[in-house]
Structure 1
Amino acid sequence: MIAKAPVPGRVKTRLTPPCTPEQAADLAEAALVDTLDTLGTVPAGRRLLVLDGEPGGWLPPGWEVVPQGGGGLDERLAAAFAHAAAVAPDAPALLVGMDTPQLAAAALAEPLSAARRAGVDAWYGPAADGGFWALGLARPTPEAAVRLLQGVPMSTEDTGAVLLGRLAAAGLAIGRLPLLTDVDVIEDARRVAAEAPRSRFAERLRAADPAPEVPR
Protein backbone atom coordinates (compact mmCIF):
# COMPACT_ATOMS: atom_id res chain seq x y z
CA MET A 1 0.00 0.00 0.00
CA ILE A 2 1.28 3.49 -0.81
CA ALA A 3 0.15 6.33 1.42
CA LYS A 4 0.88 9.69 2.94
CA ALA A 5 0.88 10.19 6.72
CA PRO A 6 -2.34 12.01 7.76
CA VAL A 7 -0.86 15.38 8.72
CA PRO A 8 -3.10 18.48 8.56
CA GLY A 9 -2.26 20.66 5.59
CA ARG A 10 -0.43 17.85 3.76
CA VAL A 11 -3.24 15.41 2.94
CA LYS A 12 -6.64 15.69 1.29
CA THR A 13 -6.16 19.41 0.69
CA ARG A 14 -8.88 19.36 -1.98
CA LEU A 15 -11.41 18.65 0.79
CA THR A 16 -10.76 22.13 2.20
CA PRO A 17 -13.18 23.81 2.11
CA PRO A 18 -15.69 22.75 3.32
CA CYS A 19 -13.49 20.72 5.71
CA THR A 20 -10.79 22.28 7.84
CA PRO A 21 -7.24 20.94 7.39
CA GLU A 22 -7.67 19.02 10.64
CA GLN A 23 -10.93 17.44 9.49
CA ALA A 24 -9.36 16.56 6.14
CA ALA A 25 -6.47 14.87 7.96
CA ASP A 26 -8.96 12.96 10.15
CA LEU A 27 -10.70 11.73 7.01
CA ALA A 28 -7.36 10.75 5.48
CA GLU A 29 -6.47 8.78 8.63
CA ALA A 30 -9.84 7.02 8.56
CA ALA A 31 -9.40 6.11 4.89
CA LEU A 32 -5.91 4.85 5.64
CA VAL A 33 -7.05 2.68 8.55
CA ASP A 34 -10.08 1.31 6.69
CA THR A 35 -7.87 0.33 3.75
CA LEU A 36 -5.13 -1.17 5.93
CA ASP A 37 -7.72 -3.22 7.81
CA THR A 38 -9.26 -4.50 4.58
CA LEU A 39 -5.93 -5.41 3.05
CA GLY A 40 -4.98 -7.12 6.29
CA THR A 41 -7.70 -9.71 5.64
CA VAL A 42 -6.56 -10.49 2.09
CA PRO A 43 -4.09 -13.41 1.96
CA ALA A 44 -0.54 -12.14 1.39
CA GLY A 45 3.00 -13.26 2.09
CA ARG A 46 4.14 -9.81 3.24
CA ARG A 47 2.42 -6.50 3.80
CA LEU A 48 4.38 -3.33 2.98
CA LEU A 49 3.29 0.23 3.69
CA VAL A 50 5.24 2.59 1.42
CA LEU A 51 4.83 5.76 3.45
CA ASP A 52 5.50 9.45 2.93
CA GLY A 53 5.92 10.62 6.52
CA GLU A 54 6.04 8.89 9.88
CA PRO A 55 3.80 6.04 11.05
CA GLY A 56 1.46 6.70 13.96
CA GLY A 57 -0.86 4.87 16.29
CA TRP A 58 -3.14 4.18 13.31
CA LEU A 59 -0.73 1.54 11.96
CA PRO A 60 -1.98 -2.01 12.72
CA PRO A 61 0.39 -4.89 13.50
CA GLY A 62 1.79 -7.00 10.70
CA TRP A 63 2.84 -4.19 8.36
CA GLU A 64 6.42 -3.35 7.37
CA VAL A 65 6.95 0.37 6.81
CA VAL A 66 9.08 1.44 3.86
CA PRO A 67 9.83 5.15 3.22
CA GLN A 68 8.77 6.47 -0.16
CA GLY A 69 11.54 7.40 -2.55
CA GLY A 70 11.98 10.76 -4.17
CA GLY A 71 10.78 12.02 -7.53
CA GLY A 72 7.33 12.12 -9.04
CA LEU A 73 4.56 9.71 -8.21
CA ASP A 74 5.40 7.58 -11.25
CA GLU A 75 8.95 7.12 -9.95
CA ARG A 76 7.76 6.43 -6.40
CA LEU A 77 5.34 3.76 -7.61
CA ALA A 78 8.10 2.10 -9.63
CA ALA A 79 10.37 2.21 -6.59
CA ALA A 80 7.67 0.59 -4.45
CA PHE A 81 7.48 -2.36 -6.85
CA ALA A 82 11.27 -2.58 -6.91
CA HIS A 83 11.31 -2.83 -3.11
CA ALA A 84 8.61 -5.50 -3.15
CA ALA A 85 10.68 -7.49 -5.64
CA ALA A 86 13.77 -7.14 -3.45
CA VAL A 87 12.11 -8.46 -0.28
CA ALA A 88 10.03 -11.16 -1.99
CA PRO A 89 11.73 -12.25 -5.23
CA ASP A 90 9.57 -14.07 -7.76
CA ALA A 91 6.36 -13.24 -5.85
CA PRO A 92 3.51 -11.21 -7.37
CA ALA A 93 2.90 -7.77 -5.89
CA LEU A 94 -0.23 -5.64 -5.67
CA LEU A 95 0.00 -1.92 -4.95
CA VAL A 96 -3.10 -0.16 -3.56
CA GLY A 97 -3.58 3.51 -2.69
CA MET A 98 -5.21 5.00 0.40
CA ASP A 99 -8.07 6.83 -1.34
CA THR A 100 -10.63 4.00 -1.59
CA PRO A 101 -11.82 3.19 1.97
CA GLN A 102 -14.91 1.51 0.50
CA LEU A 103 -12.71 -1.30 -0.85
CA ALA A 104 -14.03 -4.75 0.14
CA ALA A 105 -11.70 -7.70 0.69
CA ALA A 106 -13.77 -9.85 -1.68
CA ALA A 107 -12.92 -7.50 -4.54
CA LEU A 108 -9.29 -8.63 -4.23
CA ALA A 109 -9.38 -12.08 -2.65
CA GLU A 110 -11.12 -13.80 -5.56
CA PRO A 111 -9.25 -12.33 -8.56
CA LEU A 112 -5.92 -12.70 -6.74
CA SER A 113 -6.53 -16.25 -5.57
CA ALA A 114 -4.13 -18.94 -6.75
CA ALA A 115 -6.81 -20.47 -8.95
CA ARG A 116 -7.52 -17.16 -10.74
CA ARG A 117 -3.92 -15.92 -11.01
CA ALA A 118 -2.89 -18.46 -13.62
CA GLY A 119 -2.15 -16.76 -16.93
CA VAL A 120 -2.53 -13.21 -15.57
CA ASP A 121 0.48 -10.89 -15.81
CA ALA A 122 -0.98 -7.71 -14.34
CA TRP A 123 -4.00 -6.54 -12.35
CA TYR A 124 -5.53 -3.13 -12.93
CA GLY A 125 -8.06 -1.34 -10.72
CA PRO A 126 -9.62 1.64 -12.55
CA ALA A 127 -10.75 4.76 -10.72
CA ALA A 128 -13.82 6.74 -11.75
CA ASP A 129 -11.76 9.89 -12.34
CA GLY A 130 -9.66 8.25 -15.05
CA GLY A 131 -6.83 7.15 -12.80
CA PHE A 132 -6.26 3.85 -11.04
CA TRP A 133 -6.52 2.70 -7.43
CA ALA A 134 -4.58 -0.57 -7.75
CA LEU A 135 -1.88 -2.08 -9.91
CA GLY A 136 -0.53 -5.59 -9.60
CA LEU A 137 2.35 -7.30 -11.38
CA ALA A 138 2.93 -11.03 -11.46
CA ARG A 139 6.66 -10.42 -12.00
CA PRO A 140 7.43 -7.00 -10.48
CA THR A 141 11.07 -6.66 -11.48
CA PRO A 142 12.57 -3.17 -11.09
CA GLU A 143 13.11 -3.01 -14.85
CA ALA A 144 9.48 -3.88 -15.59
CA ALA A 145 8.19 -1.38 -13.05
CA VAL A 146 10.25 1.44 -14.54
CA ARG A 147 9.25 0.52 -18.09
CA LEU A 148 5.56 0.42 -17.24
CA LEU A 149 5.29 3.39 -14.87
CA GLN A 150 8.00 5.94 -15.41
CA GLY A 151 6.71 8.83 -17.48
CA VAL A 152 3.01 7.99 -17.02
CA PRO A 153 1.26 11.33 -16.33
CA MET A 154 -0.28 11.12 -12.87
CA SER A 155 -3.50 12.68 -11.56
CA THR A 156 -5.00 13.33 -14.98
CA GLU A 157 -8.10 11.94 -16.66
CA ASP A 158 -5.79 10.04 -19.04
CA THR A 159 -3.59 8.39 -16.40
CA GLY A 160 -5.39 5.05 -16.50
CA ALA A 161 -5.59 4.95 -20.29
CA VAL A 162 -1.85 5.59 -20.63
CA LEU A 163 -1.02 2.91 -18.09
CA LEU A 164 -3.34 0.40 -19.74
CA GLY A 165 -1.71 1.18 -23.07
CA ARG A 166 1.69 0.41 -21.60
CA LEU A 167 0.49 -2.86 -20.10
CA ALA A 168 -1.00 -3.89 -23.44
CA ALA A 169 2.07 -2.81 -25.41
CA ALA A 170 4.20 -4.99 -23.14
CA GLY A 171 2.02 -7.97 -24.12
CA LEU A 172 0.73 -8.52 -20.59
CA ALA A 173 -2.49 -10.40 -19.88
CA ILE A 174 -4.51 -8.01 -17.71
CA GLY A 175 -6.93 -8.94 -14.95
CA ARG A 176 -9.48 -6.20 -14.31
CA LEU A 177 -10.45 -5.20 -10.78
CA PRO A 178 -13.67 -3.29 -9.94
CA LEU A 179 -14.15 0.38 -10.79
CA LEU A 180 -13.94 2.47 -7.60
CA THR A 181 -14.22 6.15 -6.70
CA ASP A 182 -11.11 7.84 -5.32
CA VAL A 183 -11.71 10.39 -2.58
CA ASP A 184 -10.43 13.70 -3.92
CA VAL A 185 -13.15 16.30 -3.31
CA ILE A 186 -16.09 16.43 -0.89
CA GLU A 187 -18.56 15.01 -3.43
CA ASP A 188 -16.32 11.95 -3.79
CA ALA A 189 -16.17 11.62 -0.01
CA ARG A 190 -19.96 11.67 0.30
CA ARG A 191 -20.34 9.07 -2.46
CA VAL A 192 -17.75 6.76 -0.91
CA ALA A 193 -19.22 7.11 2.57
CA ALA A 194 -22.67 6.21 1.22
CA GLU A 195 -21.17 3.04 -0.31
CA ALA A 196 -19.55 2.06 3.01
CA PRO A 197 -21.76 3.66 5.70
CA ARG A 198 -20.31 1.57 8.55
CA SER A 199 -16.70 2.45 7.78
CA ARG A 200 -14.49 4.68 9.92
CA PHE A 201 -14.38 7.03 6.95
CA ALA A 202 -18.17 7.44 6.90
CA GLU A 203 -18.21 7.98 10.66
CA ARG A 204 -15.59 10.74 10.44
CA LEU A 205 -17.39 12.33 7.49
CA ARG A 206 -20.66 12.45 9.43
CA ALA A 207 -18.83 14.44 12.09
CA ALA A 208 -17.08 16.78 9.64
CA ASP A 209 -19.46 17.34 6.73
CA PRO A 210 -21.91 20.25 6.93
CA ALA A 211 -24.05 18.68 4.19
CA PRO A 212 -27.05 16.42 4.97
CA GLU A 213 -26.10 13.41 7.04
CA VAL A 214 -24.29 10.52 5.41
CA PRO A 215 -26.39 7.32 5.60
CA ARG A 216 -25.52 4.99 8.47
Structure 2
Amino acid sequence: MTDLMIIAKEPVPGRVKTRLTPPFSPQEAAELARAALADSLAALAAVPAARRVLVLAGEPGPWLPPGFTVLPQVGGGLDQRLAAAFADCTGPALLIGMDTPQVTPELLCAGADFTDHDAWFGPAADGGFWALGLAVPDPSLLLGVPMSQPRTGALLEARLRAAGLRTGRLPELRDVDTAADALEVAALAPATRFAALYRSITGVPEGAR
Protein backbone atom coordinates (compact mmCIF):
# COMPACT_ATOMS: atom_id res chain seq x y z
CA MET A 1 0.00 0.00 0.00
CA THR A 2 0.91 3.64 -0.44
CA ASP A 3 1.63 6.39 2.08
CA LEU A 4 -0.79 9.26 1.52
CA MET A 5 0.59 12.63 2.59
CA ILE A 6 -0.75 16.16 2.70
CA ILE A 7 1.45 19.19 3.34
CA ALA A 8 -0.34 22.06 5.02
CA LYS A 9 -0.23 25.13 7.23
CA GLU A 10 -2.26 25.49 10.38
CA PRO A 11 -5.24 27.67 9.35
CA VAL A 12 -4.39 30.74 11.41
CA PRO A 13 -5.66 34.20 10.35
CA GLY A 14 -2.93 36.26 8.72
CA ARG A 15 -0.74 33.21 8.04
CA VAL A 16 -2.73 31.31 5.42
CA LYS A 17 -4.41 32.30 2.16
CA THR A 18 -3.16 35.87 2.42
CA ARG A 19 -3.80 36.39 -1.31
CA LEU A 20 -7.53 36.10 -0.54
CA THR A 21 -7.34 39.35 1.42
CA PRO A 22 -8.97 41.44 0.17
CA PRO A 23 -11.81 40.86 -0.59
CA PHE A 24 -11.93 38.41 2.32
CA SER A 25 -10.86 39.31 5.83
CA PRO A 26 -7.92 37.41 7.36
CA GLN A 27 -10.42 35.49 9.52
CA GLU A 28 -12.55 34.54 6.51
CA ALA A 29 -9.46 33.53 4.55
CA ALA A 30 -8.35 31.27 7.42
CA GLU A 31 -11.83 29.74 7.63
CA LEU A 32 -11.76 29.01 3.91
CA ALA A 33 -8.31 27.47 4.29
CA ARG A 34 -9.58 25.30 7.13
CA ALA A 35 -12.53 24.14 5.02
CA ALA A 36 -10.26 23.32 2.07
CA LEU A 37 -7.94 21.40 4.38
CA ALA A 38 -10.89 19.50 5.89
CA ASP A 39 -12.11 18.50 2.43
CA SER A 40 -8.63 17.32 1.45
CA LEU A 41 -8.17 15.34 4.68
CA ALA A 42 -11.57 13.69 4.20
CA ALA A 43 -10.59 12.60 0.69
CA LEU A 44 -7.38 11.07 2.01
CA ALA A 45 -9.23 9.37 4.85
CA ALA A 46 -11.50 7.62 2.33
CA VAL A 47 -8.62 5.92 0.49
CA PRO A 48 -6.84 2.74 1.69
CA ALA A 49 -3.29 3.61 2.70
CA ALA A 50 -0.21 2.27 4.43
CA ARG A 51 -0.13 5.54 6.40
CA ARG A 52 -1.95 8.84 6.26
CA VAL A 53 0.43 11.67 7.09
CA LEU A 54 -0.13 15.37 7.71
CA VAL A 55 3.10 17.32 7.17
CA LEU A 56 2.19 20.39 9.17
CA ALA A 57 3.54 23.87 9.77
CA GLY A 58 1.89 24.76 13.06
CA GLU A 59 -0.23 22.76 15.47
CA PRO A 60 -3.04 20.27 14.72
CA GLY A 61 -6.54 21.25 15.77
CA PRO A 62 -10.05 19.76 15.97
CA TRP A 63 -10.17 19.85 12.17
CA LEU A 64 -7.79 16.86 12.01
CA PRO A 65 -9.65 13.52 11.73
CA PRO A 66 -8.35 10.40 13.47
CA GLY A 67 -5.92 8.10 11.74
CA PHE A 68 -3.31 10.65 10.67
CA THR A 69 0.32 10.78 11.72
CA VAL A 70 1.46 14.39 12.15
CA LEU A 71 4.98 15.31 11.08
CA PRO A 72 6.35 18.83 11.56
CA GLN A 73 7.60 20.57 8.45
CA VAL A 74 11.34 21.08 8.38
CA GLY A 75 12.90 24.47 7.79
CA GLY A 76 14.08 25.75 4.44
CA GLY A 77 12.41 26.26 1.10
CA LEU A 78 9.40 24.37 -0.15
CA ASP A 79 11.57 22.01 -2.17
CA GLN A 80 13.40 21.04 1.03
CA ARG A 81 10.17 20.60 2.95
CA LEU A 82 8.68 18.37 0.25
CA ALA A 83 11.90 16.39 -0.02
CA ALA A 84 11.92 15.81 3.74
CA ALA A 85 8.33 14.51 3.61
CA PHE A 86 9.30 11.90 1.02
CA ALA A 87 12.46 11.06 2.95
CA ASP A 88 10.24 9.90 5.82
CA CYS A 89 8.61 7.25 3.60
CA THR A 90 9.93 3.71 3.20
CA GLY A 91 7.56 2.69 0.40
CA PRO A 92 5.39 4.21 -2.33
CA ALA A 93 4.04 7.66 -1.47
CA LEU A 94 1.61 10.21 -2.86
CA LEU A 95 1.70 13.80 -1.62
CA ILE A 96 -0.85 16.56 -2.18
CA GLY A 97 -1.31 20.11 -0.88
CA MET A 98 -4.18 21.73 1.00
CA ASP A 99 -5.24 24.05 -1.84
CA THR A 100 -7.48 21.71 -3.87
CA PRO A 101 -10.68 20.99 -1.90
CA GLN A 102 -12.17 19.55 -5.10
CA VAL A 103 -9.82 16.54 -4.92
CA THR A 104 -11.68 13.22 -4.78
CA PRO A 105 -10.86 9.76 -3.40
CA GLU A 106 -10.99 8.48 -7.00
CA LEU A 107 -8.19 10.84 -8.05
CA LEU A 108 -6.13 9.82 -5.04
CA CYS A 109 -6.66 6.13 -5.75
CA ALA A 110 -5.37 6.67 -9.28
CA GLY A 111 -2.27 8.49 -8.04
CA ALA A 112 -1.58 5.82 -5.43
CA ASP A 113 -1.55 2.97 -7.96
CA PHE A 114 1.98 2.26 -9.16
CA THR A 115 1.18 -0.94 -11.03
CA ASP A 116 2.20 0.55 -14.38
CA HIS A 117 3.94 3.76 -13.30
CA ASP A 118 6.97 4.84 -11.32
CA ALA A 119 5.61 8.33 -10.68
CA TRP A 120 2.43 10.38 -10.85
CA PHE A 121 2.30 14.09 -11.57
CA GLY A 122 -0.77 16.26 -10.95
CA PRO A 123 -0.49 19.62 -12.75
CA ALA A 124 -2.07 22.76 -11.33
CA ALA A 125 -3.70 25.42 -13.48
CA ASP A 126 -1.23 28.08 -12.28
CA GLY A 127 1.77 26.13 -13.58
CA GLY A 128 2.57 24.39 -10.32
CA PHE A 129 1.46 20.94 -9.20
CA TRP A 130 -1.12 19.63 -6.77
CA ALA A 131 0.07 16.03 -6.50
CA LEU A 132 3.30 14.06 -6.73
CA GLY A 133 3.49 10.30 -6.40
CA LEU A 134 6.68 8.25 -6.28
CA ALA A 135 6.86 4.46 -6.22
CA VAL A 136 10.36 4.77 -4.75
CA PRO A 137 10.58 8.05 -2.81
CA ASP A 138 13.70 9.94 -3.84
CA PRO A 139 14.06 13.33 -2.14
CA SER A 140 16.71 14.41 -4.65
CA LEU A 141 14.02 14.63 -7.34
CA LEU A 142 12.63 17.69 -5.55
CA LEU A 143 15.71 19.41 -4.21
CA GLY A 144 16.61 22.45 -6.27
CA VAL A 145 13.34 22.66 -8.20
CA PRO A 146 12.28 26.35 -8.15
CA MET A 147 8.93 26.50 -6.37
CA SER A 148 5.93 28.82 -6.70
CA GLN A 149 6.84 29.84 -10.24
CA PRO A 150 4.81 29.51 -13.47
CA ARG A 151 7.13 26.74 -14.71
CA THR A 152 7.52 24.82 -11.46
CA GLY A 153 5.28 21.99 -12.60
CA ALA A 154 6.92 21.67 -16.01
CA LEU A 155 10.38 21.62 -14.46
CA LEU A 156 9.42 18.95 -11.95
CA GLU A 157 7.71 16.76 -14.54
CA ALA A 158 10.74 17.09 -16.82
CA ARG A 159 12.98 16.00 -13.94
CA LEU A 160 10.85 12.91 -13.34
CA ARG A 161 11.04 11.91 -16.99
CA ALA A 162 14.76 12.67 -17.19
CA ALA A 163 15.25 10.24 -14.31
CA GLY A 164 13.72 7.55 -16.51
CA LEU A 165 10.52 7.26 -14.45
CA ARG A 166 7.36 6.05 -16.15
CA THR A 167 5.31 9.11 -15.23
CA GLY A 168 1.53 9.22 -15.35
CA ARG A 169 -0.45 12.45 -15.46
CA LEU A 170 -3.39 13.15 -13.21
CA PRO A 171 -6.06 15.67 -14.27
CA GLU A 172 -5.20 19.34 -13.92
CA LEU A 173 -6.75 20.98 -10.85
CA ARG A 174 -6.97 24.62 -9.82
CA ASP A 175 -5.38 25.73 -6.56
CA VAL A 176 -7.33 28.15 -4.40
CA ASP A 177 -5.00 31.13 -4.12
CA THR A 178 -7.10 34.14 -5.20
CA ALA A 179 -10.74 35.19 -4.95
CA ALA A 180 -11.23 34.21 -8.60
CA ASP A 181 -9.86 30.76 -7.82
CA ALA A 182 -12.20 30.43 -4.84
CA LEU A 183 -15.24 31.29 -6.97
CA GLU A 184 -14.24 28.80 -9.68
CA VAL A 185 -13.47 25.92 -7.31
CA ALA A 186 -16.66 26.47 -5.29
CA ALA A 187 -18.63 26.21 -8.54
CA LEU A 188 -16.75 23.09 -9.66
CA ALA A 189 -17.23 21.26 -6.35
CA PRO A 190 -20.49 22.59 -4.84
CA ALA A 191 -20.87 19.72 -2.35
CA THR A 192 -17.61 20.43 -0.52
CA ARG A 193 -17.22 22.12 2.86
CA PHE A 194 -15.21 24.77 1.07
CA ALA A 195 -18.02 25.60 -1.36
CA ALA A 196 -20.65 25.70 1.39
CA LEU A 197 -18.55 28.12 3.44
CA TYR A 198 -17.76 30.22 0.37
CA ARG A 199 -21.47 30.59 -0.37
CA SER A 200 -22.19 31.42 3.26
CA ILE A 201 -19.57 34.16 3.35
CA THR A 202 -20.25 35.69 -0.07
CA GLY A 203 -23.90 35.01 -0.73
CA VAL A 204 -22.93 33.70 -4.18
CA PRO A 205 -25.49 31.08 -5.24
CA GLU A 206 -24.49 27.48 -5.85
CA GLY A 207 -22.96 26.90 -9.28
CA ALA A 208 -22.29 30.61 -9.98
CA ARG A 209 -19.07 31.42 -11.80
TM-score, normalised relative to structure 2: 0.93
CA distance in 2, matches of 1:180, 1:122: 18
CA distance in 2, matches of 1:209, 1:170: 46
1:117-159 residue CA offsets vs partner (Å, 9 max, x unmatched)? 223111100000000000011001xxx21x2111111111100
Structure-2 residue corresponding to 1:118:
115
CA distance in 2, matches of 1:195, 1:162: 28
Contact 2:93 2:112 in 1 (8 A): no
SS at match of 2:30: helix
Q: CA RMSD in A?
A: 1.3
Aligned with residue 5 of structure 1, among 2, 10, 19: 10
- C-alpha change, 1:51 and 1:188, in structure 2 (3 Å) is same
User: How many residues are aligned here?
Assistant: 203
Aligned with residue 52 of structure 2, among 29, 36, 47: 47
Q: Structure 1 residues 51-60 or 150-159, which shifts more?
A: 150-159
Structure-1 residue corresponding to 2:192:
199
Alignment of 1:131 onto 2:128: yes
Alignment of 1:181 onto 2:174: yes
Alignment of 1:17 onto 2:17: no
Contact 2:94 2:112 in 1 (8 A): no
SS at match of 2:51: coil
CA distance in 1, matches of 2:56, 2:100: 16
Structure-1 residue corresponding to 2:145:
152
1:48-81 residue CA offsets vs partner (Å, 9 max, x unmatched)? 1000000000000000100000000000000000
Corresponding letter in the other structure for 1:74: D
CA distance in 2, matches of 1:166, 1:70: 23
CA distance in 1, matches of 2:71, 2:206: 35
SS at match of 1:33: helix
Contact 1:205 1:214 in 2 (8 A): no
TM-score, normalised relative to structure 1: 0.91
> Sequence identity of aligned pairs in percent?
61
Unaligned runs of 5+ in 1: none
Corresponding letter in the other structure for 2:17: K
Contact 2:111 2:133 in 1 (8 A): no
Aligned with residue 74 of structure 2, among 69, 83, 96: 69
Structure-1 residue corresponding to 2:3:
none
Unaligned runs of 5+ in 2: 1-5
Structure-2 residue corresponding to 1:31:
36
CA distance in 2, matches of 1:102, 1:186: 16
